[in-house]
Amino acid sequence: MKIGICGICGRMGVSVLEILLARGHSLGAAFDHDGAPSFGCDAGVLIHAESMHVPVAAINAGGIANTDGVIDFSTPAATARLIEIALVKKTPLVIGTTGFSEDGRREIERASKTIPVLFSPNMSFGVNLLFKLTEIASRVLTNEYDVEILEMHHRLKKDAPSGTANRLLEIVKSSMRDMKEAKEVSGREGIVGERTRNEIGVFAMRGGGVVGEHTVFFTAADERIELTHRALSRDVLAKGAVAAMEFLAGKPAGLYSMYDVLGL
């Protein structure tokens, strides 16, 4: 496949580039903002390779038309621009960008009525198994088990909590009985009173070069269940993103997830 990458100068973009080439695909377009360090250069410089004859440029219709699909790890604003052109060109999208507002999510859903879109806050196979295990645990357990979600990422991550943590929160609220209206607590300080049955804690830690760690705690009076995933390399995310683009090949318009790729 000829695959475009939006946000190619970022660490995830570079990882996706390396993985798609290793899997026998080619780079069809390279997009980033004009302040990116390699903007205007050939994309080959990002992986210290020979010229790929694909310049790093702003999102544009000609570049998108030169691809079989685009993998997006950018910003919500850039994704909105990408969607606008992809709808015209009927180009499949794999969206791994996080930090969307409700309006941004609705735009992605609307786009999926016209083009195939795979949208996931985390492309890792392991994290998506964590999503499924959290769903199973939430359906089995009651709110006798207090639920807390902890995530940690590198110091440069801009949004908090992570998109993955927010997805875990959504899963618990939709799957656990009597928790649909649970209060979301992002911090506790001072005399806050006893923890109620109707709250879920979601806490973000930042430091160093941590790729991503997520734990869901189900804690009762006499036992605690912990579901944890630790990413040891960005390659797990990049491999999932490229597999997602391979999955979209030939698919009709629709909103897909990594569950579809994994057959869950």
pLDDT single digits (tens) 27-75: 999 999 999 989 999 999 999 999 999 999 999 999 999 999 999 999 9
Whether 82 and 103 map to the same domain: the answer is yes
Identify the pLDDT of residue 232.
Answer: 93
The whole-model pTM stands at 0.84
Whether 21 and 99 map to the same domain: the answer is yes
Q: What is the pLDDT of residues 92-124, one digit of tens each?
A: 999 999 889 999 999 999 999 999 999 998 899
Q: Among residues 153, 214, 229, 239, which one is catalytic?
A: 153
153 is catalytic: yes
Whether 13 and 115 map to the same domain: the answer is yes
Identify the pLDDT of residue 174.
Answer: 97
* Structural domain count, the chain: 2
Whether 182 and 246 map to the same domain: the answer is no
- The number of CA neighbours under 13 Å toward the Cβ of 121 is 22
Find the CATH number of the domain harbouring 190: 3.30.360.10
Find the CATH number of the domain harbouring 75: 3.40.50.720
Whether 63 and 190 map to the same domain: the answer is no
Is the separation of the CB atoms in 31 and 8 below 8 Å?
A: yes
Whether 133 and 202 map to the same domain: the answer is yes
Percent over 70 (pLDDT), the chain = 100
Identify the pLDDT of residue 121.
Answer: 84
Whether 99 and 22 map to the same domain: the answer is yes
Q: Which domain holds residue 11?
A: 2-119+234-262
Whether 167 and 210 map to the same domain: the answer is yes
Pair type for strands 116-119 and 146-153: unpaired
Whether 10 and 113 map to the same domain: the answer is yes
Whether 22 and 7 map to the same domain: the answer is yes
Q: What is the pLDDT of residues 184-216, one digit of tens each?
A: 999 999 999 999 999 999 999 999 999 999 999
Q: What angle do CA 132, 243, 12 make, to 5 degrees?
A: 90
pLDDT band for position 254 (cuts 50, 70, 90): very high
What contacts 43, CB < 8 A, 6 or more positions away? 8, 17, 27, 30, 52, 54, 55, 56
Q: Which two tokens stand for residue 111?
A: 């786009």
Q: Among residues 2, 157, 173, 251, which one is catalytic?
A: 157
Whether 34 and 50 map to the same domain: the answer is yes
